[in-house]
Amino acid sequence: MRNPYSPGAGSPPPALVGRDSHLDAFDIAVQRLGIGRAAKSQMLTGLRGVGKTVLLREFGRTAESHGWTHVPTEATEDQRFVESMAALVRKALLRLSAGRRATERARRALGILRSFLVRWNLPDGGELALGFDSVPGFADSGALDDDLAGLFAALGGLARERHTGVLFTVDEVQYLSRDELSALIVGLHRVSQDQLPFMIAGAGLPSLPALAGEAKSYAERLFSFPVIDSLPSGEASEALSAPAAEEGVDWQHDALARIVNLTDGYPYFLQEFGKQAWDVADGPDQITITDVEAAIPVAVHELDSGFFRARIGRTTNNERAYLAAMASLGPGPHGSGKVAAAIGKTTTQVGPHRDALIKRGLCYSPRHGIIDFTVPMFDEFIRRWTA
Ligand SMILES: Nc1ncnc2c1ncn2[C@@H]1O[C@H](COP(=O)(O)OP(=O)(O)O)[C@@H](O)[C@H]1O
Ligand SMILES: [Mg+2]
């Protein structure tokens, strides 16, 4: 029998337990924008492994179910933001134009993209070389917020002409710089006043760049910022039991309770423990506490060598020492001063390592002078790993 907890095994529903309210709000927002009303998009934040990416992908499906075009992207530590924005716009324009005679508006939109590419020194995509003239005066000012607004307006206008809409989803938003995120928001705000069927949804770690000034107040108007967290025990149990029930398999009450307790309801952990318990269980139609006890060391080993290990992959010795000091203090958050003291240094001395860990998305600062892990139960892992 197939293991319903293997990555990619379950069709979306079990992996979306507890997220109905976000999905409903998103669905309504798409419909409102589709009829020219104002609506808020969502910028999801939360620790690693809580289900942000899964939910963002589901937003994409929701938009598609209304006939919209969805173009996803994921920011990385070392990627050029303007380049990925241009790529998203290009994909969306091409999809909106596919199989249709190019209207005046479509030609113009491609021309505006062309201006943007030239202004920002970006490679011209093959299709666009086909002779769409640049449209001077749009998306070529050199101010990123204005130029993005020009692109978004061209795209949204074309979508409206086609009686459809466009959604961009941007995952790992914490890797954008503050300037990039500000430009994105200010640009989006500028087109939002025209009530175009164009939307951007995002997800990122709690270390999302802190916005200031107009970008901050616009962000509050354009987005809600739901915090995606671990699942309360009832929903965590359901996330485990529902996929098994579909295969005609039951979980014993104690067996469920043990995993929910051990994982604190963190979705990624629930899935890994569920997967191992399923593999260990003799069945045929029940997973027992004995199965779970046997699966625990296997699941812990899998997490250590995969999920956790992957996070520390590229850290330096100094950064690891900082993580070890944090872990020695227990689960976070911790005062930065205490962490520094645990290594026998001053806050200033360890500042660069702390900043590097934040930049890599391993830690974040929930408040001034406070540091925490972005990965749930990371302190336990570090202690196992350095033991
Ligand atoms: N609400 C949920 N219920 C059950 N499993 C979930 C839920 N959300 C996510 N998962 C599972 O947890 C794992 C991590 O989800 P992911 O979206 O990659 O997290 P993030 O993007 O927050 O790091 C995925 O394998 C997913 O199937
Ligand atoms: Mg993710």
- Backbone phi, psi, residue 37, to 5°: -100, 165
Q: Measure the CA–CA gap between 91 and 113, rounded to whole angstroms.
A: 11
- Backbone phi, psi, residue 112, to 5°: -65, -40
Identify the residue whose C-alpha is closest to ligand 1 atom 17.
51
Counting from 1 in the atom list of ligand 1, the atom nearest the Cα of 56 is 17
Counting from 1 in the atom list of ligand 1, the atom nearest the Cα of 19 is 1
User: 32 alpha carbon to ligand 2 midpoint, in Å?
Assistant: 27
In testing the pocket of ligand 1, which one of 271, 275, 375 has its CB within 8 Å of the most ligand atoms? 271
User: 166 alpha carbon to ligand 1 midpoint, in Å?
Assistant: 25
Identify the residue whose C-alpha is closest to ligand 1 atom 16.
51
Binding pocket residue ranges, ligand 1, CB within 6 Å = 7, 14-19, 46, 48-54, 231, 239, 267-268, 270-271
Domains in the chain, start-ordered, CATH in brackets?
Answer: 19-224 (3.40.50.300), 233-311 (1.10.8), 313-386 (1.10.10.10)
Q: Measure the CA–CA gap between 308 and 319, rounded to whole angstroms.
A: 15
Counting ligands in written order, the one closest to the CA of 228 is 1
In testing the pocket of ligand 1, which one of 20, 21, 238, 268 has its CB within 8 Å of the most ligand atoms? 268
- Give ion ligand 2 contacts, CB < 5 A: 52-53
User: 185 alpha carbon to ligand 1 midpoint, in Å?
Assistant: 27
User: 203 alpha carbon to ligand 2 midpoint, in Å?
Assistant: 7
Counting ligands in written order, the one closest to the CA of 303 is 1
Which positions of the chain have pLDDT values less than 70? 8-14, 125-132
Identify the residue whose C-alpha is closest to ligand 1 atom 27.
15
Counting from 1 in the atom list of ligand 1, the atom nearest the Cα of 7 is 25
Instruction: Please report, for residues 76, 306, 315, 380, the alpha-carbon distance to residue 309 in angstroms, rounded to integers and kept in the order given.
Output: 19, 5, 11, 12
Identify the residue whose C-alpha is closest to ligand 1 atom 6.
15
The predicted pLDDT at position 12 comes to 45
Counting from 1 in the atom list of ligand 1, the atom nearest the Cα of 231 is 1
The predicted pLDDT at position 75 comes to 96
